Every structure is written in structure tokens, then in C-alpha cells.
Amino acid sequence: MSAPYATPPPSGRIDQRIAAHHDRLSPQERRAADTLLEHLDDLATYRAAELAVLAGVSKATMSRLFRSLGFVDFDEVRDHLRSLRTAGEPRRVDGAPDLHAQVRAEADSIRLALTQPGLPDAVAALASARRVLVAGWRNSHPVALHLRQQLVQARPAVALAPLPGQMVGEELADLGTGDVVVAIGFRRRPREFGDFVTAAGAAGAEVVLIADPTATMHLARADVALTCPVQGLLAFDSYAAAMSLVGVIADGVLHELGRAGRDRVSAISGSYERLREVETWT
């Protein structure tokens, strides 16, 4: 038998619990724990009895391990792994992916992202802004980069932050009334994200927030808030809806700017041709 645990019971991710208490497990429990670690990505495809067979231990030993790690039973272990996925950690807990179901889930996410009442407000703000700063960290940065690349085709004075090797303080120092900041913050955001949103608003800029539903605590800090689902049926988050959303925003800005936007597109295309920067094809 393993030594009794002091209260409170083990907490944290299951792999952290196993690592922290591995030396306090019995030899049989260690074997069972090692099997859990080997199958964390597909635990939902097994029953507790099947895991016991894989580990070469009894069902009682497997159940005792769950309790030693602070779980009531195997169902609670599965719920724990699903909670990790909800927080943004890549984790497959539903067996082999159903790609047809994934396509349907992507379509639902895109529909939700593109039918929000705040979308026209975001377009109007970006079309009329004196300057635009698009900011995104980590997995939000490619979405921010894509939005900036599209907006700059339609209007001038569109900046991206943070740039490699730079902070955002200098960008905030230039903000004021008439400027718009687009803060893109999908889950697993850096801790300073909320401070950045607050500082952008305090500088006098209008703030457009694009984030997944886990950013609820930041919504009240924005003038316009757009939520965009990123969790699908696969291990990693999907940004299909996010990319569709920024594409629709940029399209709306181009339409809102009318002749000025079209003239800018033509001027940029002419520069490409003169500099031979892009391929041409017929």
C-alpha cells in the first residue's frame, strides 16, 4: 500500500501529480501511473479495466491510483483532461478524430463569428480611425499579422505590435483620441494582455477586442468586443473562424472607404509591379 497523503489532496495536472508523488506510489501503482502517462492523449478510448490490463495490474490497483492522485474515479480523470483542453492545452481526449464532424464544427464556428452584432461597429471604427494598431501575442500573432496585411491594402497608418525584439510601450505612447487598437487575444494569452487593453483605452484610443470566449474578463475593457470560437474536435485550436472574421472585417473596411480604398489598392498593386515583388501570371 502507498503511504497516506496529507491534506489537501494532490492538485494540478495529472502528469504533474504523478511526477510529484511518484516515489510515494507502490510498485504496482507506479506501473499503472506509467501506463496513464503513455496514454494521456487517448485515454477516452479506454475503460478503466482495459487500462488495468495494459498496465498488468488489478482493477483495484488502478482505482487506488486514481484516488492517490486526488481523483474520485476514472470519469473524473477524463473530465480533468477535458478541462485541460478547454484551457487551450493540446490534448486529444475523444479518440480518433471524426473529420466530417470537424468540418461541421468549423462551419458552426465561422457562422457564430460572422453574425455578431458588433461586427459593423468594428468595421466603422477601423475605417474612420486616424491610425490603427493591431496587437497579438503568441498564437494570436498570426491572426493579427493577417489583419494588418489586409487592412494596410485598404487604408494607411496600420501598425503591428509587438514587433520582434520590441516591447509595446513605445506604441502605446503614440496613441490618442481618434486612434483604434485591435487587441487579439485567444486563449493561453500572456498575463500582460489585460493590462495592455486597459492602457490602450486609457490613452484615449478606441479598443476593438477579438478573442475566444475565455476572455470574458476582458470584454468590459473594450469599446467593441468580438468573440470567436477556436476549440474544435482536434487536439489543437483552429483559427479558421478567426481568419474568416478578420477577412470580413477588412472587406468591410475596404467597402466603407469606397473610392479612396480602391485607389490605394491600385497604387499598391502598381508598386508591386514596378518593384517586381510578386509573381505575375496570365
SS3 225: strand
d(Cα 13, Cα 51) in Å, to the nearest integer?
Answer: 19
In the block, residue with C-alpha cell 468595421: 123
Q: Which amino acid makes up residue 138? A: R
Share of residues in the chain with pLDDT > 90 (%): 38
Q: Please compute the mean of the pLDDT values over residues 71-100 and round it to a whole number.
A: 68
- Domain 100-275 architecture: 3-Layer(aba) Sandwich (3.40)
Cell of 255: 467597402
Q: Tell me what pLDDT residue 66 has.
A: 87
pLDDT tens digit sequence for 144-188: 999 999 999 999 999 999 988 787 888 888 899 999 999 999 988
Q: How confident is the model at residue 33 (pLDDT cuts 50, 70, 90)?
A: confident
Greatest Cα-to-Cα distance within the chain, rounded to the nearest angstrom: 78
Task: Count other C-beta atoms under 10 Å from residue 6's C-beta.
Answer: 6
What strands, in cross-sheet order, belong to the sheet with 158-161?
158-161, 132-136, 180-185, 206-211, 224-227
Q: How confident is the model at residue 45 (pLDDT cuts 50, 70, 90)?
A: low
Q: How confident is the model at residue 131 (pLDDT cuts 50, 70, 90)?
A: very high
The structure's pTM equals 0.68
Q: Tell me what pLDDT residue 93 has.
A: 52
Contact present, 55 and 33 (Cβ < 8 Å) = no
In the block, residue with C-alpha cell 486563449: 187
Q: Please compute the mean of the pLDDT values over residues 92-112 and round it to a whole number.
A: 76
d(Cα 155, Cα 134) in Å, to the nearest integer?
Answer: 13
pLDDT tens digit sequence for 118-128: 999 999 999 99
Report which listed range, 1-5, 46-50, 89-93, 241-245, is most confident: 241-245
d(Cα 276, Cα 274) in Å, to the nearest integer?
Answer: 6
d(Cα 123, Cα 133) in Å, to the nearest integer?
Answer: 14
H or E element that contains 218: helix 216-219
Task: Give me the CATH code for the 14-86 domain, please.
Answer: 1.10.10.10
Domain segments of the chain: what residues?
14-86, 100-275
Contact present, 191 and 165 (Cβ < 8 Å) = no
Is 70 exceeded by the pLDDT of residue 25?
A: yes
Cell of 122: 468594428
Q: Tell me what pLDDT residue 117 has.
A: 92
Q: Tell me what pLDDT residue 20 has.
A: 75
Question: Residue 45's beta-bridge partner residues?
Answer: none
Q: Please compute the mean of the pLDDT values over residues 44-56 and round it to a whole number.
A: 83
